[in-house]
Structure 1
Amino acid sequence: MSQSLTPPVLQVQQLSASYRDREVLQGLNLQLRAGQVIGVVGPNGAGKSTFLKAILGLVPHHGEVLWRGTSLTSQLQRVAYVPQRAQVDFDYPATVEDVVLMGRVARTGWLRRFSAASQQAVKAALERVELWDLRSRPIGELSGGQQQRVFIARSLAQEAELFLLDEPFAGIDRRSEGLLYAILRDLAQQGHGVIVVHHDLGQATQQFDELVLLNQRVIAQGHPRLVLQPDHLAQAYGARLDITRHEAA
């Protein structure tokens, strides 16, 4: 079956969200398919992070979000959410392995002993992000890139179907960046949904199968080269942008 005929797994219908009476998202309508790494781009304050939070029901919103035809909020155990690192308290006394084990809580239950299957899932996830040898290290002692890899490992251990990541490539090293891109590509090829909020327009043309250009509303959606046209960028950013300059950076 061709990609264009593949039915959407995530449907966003008339999604709006507000903060303190200020509308941040205005009637978003999107259909997203599995098998693709999808990037969400737009200027600061465009509502990109709010978009992910509204999908998860973490902020007041109106509209409907369906995962495989059923309300997403009724099946949040199928979703792995990786927030921006700035939102995480890295002074919390937890080891790398502790953090990744948190991805198994929904399957295990609070205050219950983790099964051998959960322990194996955590080991496999940490090996996938090349951090098994640091499993006993306090997470606050890791580099930014290593910390991000820990949270990716937690999402892998969760064995989710839909992965939502908010700026996972911000401030990380090249090794971590390449590793994360490879993991997201593998997840998409396995049929999972992968949505990534991203800030670098040059990278966006190269690393994502499809883009959503957002500024409170959807400006454009589709192949990166078609989305990042000058007229679309002018609508989103309020100015003409030179994408070739971003690509060369």
Structure 2
Amino acid sequence: MERYSPQDIESKWQKKWEEGKVYKTEADASRPKYYALEMFPYPSGNLHMGHVRNYAIGDVMARYKTMEGFNVLHPMGFDSFGMPAENAAIKHGVKPADWTYSNIENMEKQQKKLGLSYDWDREVKTCDPSYYKWTQWLFELFYKRGLAYKKKASVNWCDTCGTVLANEQVIDGKCWRCDHEVHKKDLSQWFLKITDYADVLLKDLDKLKGWPERVKTMQDNWIGRSEGLEFNLEAPELDTSIAAYTTRPDTVYGITFLALA
């Protein structure tokens, strides 16, 4: 029986796949389309087995759909812009660009050694100006249309990472990344006015077939749409009135006090 030697066999065929651009996707109106996309990794180090599990499953789906006759678009990219890359560079005493691009190069080699069926001609690097110029363009468009606005708000703040954290990133009062204490901080920051789209966002959750209900519930809560009204409570000692919101205006007459954080 011939012995399987991955060092020889895998490298041989992976080289042929790359040279022949076997996984390159061209427009083909004669076949149904299928878009296979896994999460883009943070280039903050090496790929680990958690990445392998995720990308192997995505690769199986992409190959299966190809075998079914679909014209499969299966790209890869790197979520390489922002605080994680910056903090890693500070920690290692190198420039963020040098640290990020060297990690991207290493991760590309790892993914190619796994034999994943990506169309590398469509690779995306979010730290590249050719990519983020479009996010800047979108933000400017939102701003001009009144959908981006600035206001002061209380946020979860990690002093060690120097960044804002979502509620899901605070675990038992500590930062999910560095495990340091998180505290509330008032910051002037930008917001996107998703309230204008709350109804359609909620309605379209029904289109997410196969998504776990707990994830859809999290999205529902994040959108946070509710029916109610805003009313004022007088505070004579402060010579002002305080606005309050309720979804149950019929219970207002039972109010005995208002507590402000």
- TM-score band w.r.t. shorter chain: under 0.3
TM-score (structure 2 length as normaliser)? 0.24
Would you tell me which structure has more strand in proportion to its own residues?
Answer: 1
TM-score (structure 1 length as normaliser)? 0.25
Larger RCO, structure (CA 8 Å, separation 6 or more): 1
